[in-house]
Structure 1
């Protein structure tokens, strides 16, 4: 509806960004996909990956599926290994995604792994362990970003919850400040029309998840940061 605003960068922006830098750095030509086929989020991410791969002229070797809650991905990954891809693209929530990454490395699949937004969670490192090293993903938020506002947020979050914030915690935090800022500008706390108009005007809001504006459809305009996991941390991909 006209009163709904979104401050989460869609995978249609994040996934192509991650794929582009990975393809350029690693010379990727052939790719294999694996995704959850009973999860709308993962299916949508897979479709973006598939479309992006086609646009980039990559060879599509196979697309394997699983269901949320699955814990054994040996059959799918064994098939993928036999096809010898240059990269593995995974669209999943973090639990299943982490197990896929772990099993892929156990089976000897040592090519780059590119993930969707479901991998933007510190739990990936906890679950996959060293297998998560080198994972490539795009995110609007990096807890390692050298920015005073970001580091203050990370410290406060860790002090309260005992863990690092993920992308979704950062976006919720920014969302609250976006609404508060817009309410203050209206000077009319009970006028939803005025609030909507102020939100629609948002431009270059500096939050912990980066600079944000809204387009005419109330979707976010922002630039994702491509990161990789190195030494157990999400760091900028170079």
Structure 2
């Protein structure tokens, strides 16, 4: 954590102070980020700036809901794929007090990927995201995305780390577990919750957490990969120029 440097004037004043009357040292308050805005050292602003330009890797675009137009592309770099969409609540998997047939009319007792003990994921407790099922539009496996892949989810000034835990319809995008929504400050109720827009999903290519339910491991790996994603921005500039994409200034 950096501490602001003394100005030359302040330094000179300190040198001129009488030796018999030493000036008591005063602690300089450190520069801190707002509390509880992220789970790591990379900020939401840094990740949003890194994903500001889209090099589309999907052959087409996705709808965020069944009754909306297909406007969301999947974008990519050498380190990650990402998209910007809404957040619908996924309460599927193991039945819990907040995720069950009574609380969620679309509840399914299974997830595409399972825990190390063979049980389906717990959407109420485990932060995970949902990716579209593989299709000609986009086959996530060809881009290094699979069950247990590590993801950073950004909403407003918050960054949360999760894993790829479920798959959804092949033409829809923008969904995450009850636990993910709650950690981002998004209403998690499967009937009335979610966010209509403004959520960025970043999945780090060829990453994987084993076992998939180890959230602490997902956070640790997410922090490391998010840092690499940010520092790789400069290295990506020549590639952007070759691909005909604008170079950020």
Same fold (TM over 0.5): no
TM bucket normalised to smaller: under 0.3
After TM superposition, the score normalised by the length of structure 1 is 0.23
Greater Rg over alpha carbons, structure: 2
Structure with a larger share of its residues in helix: 1
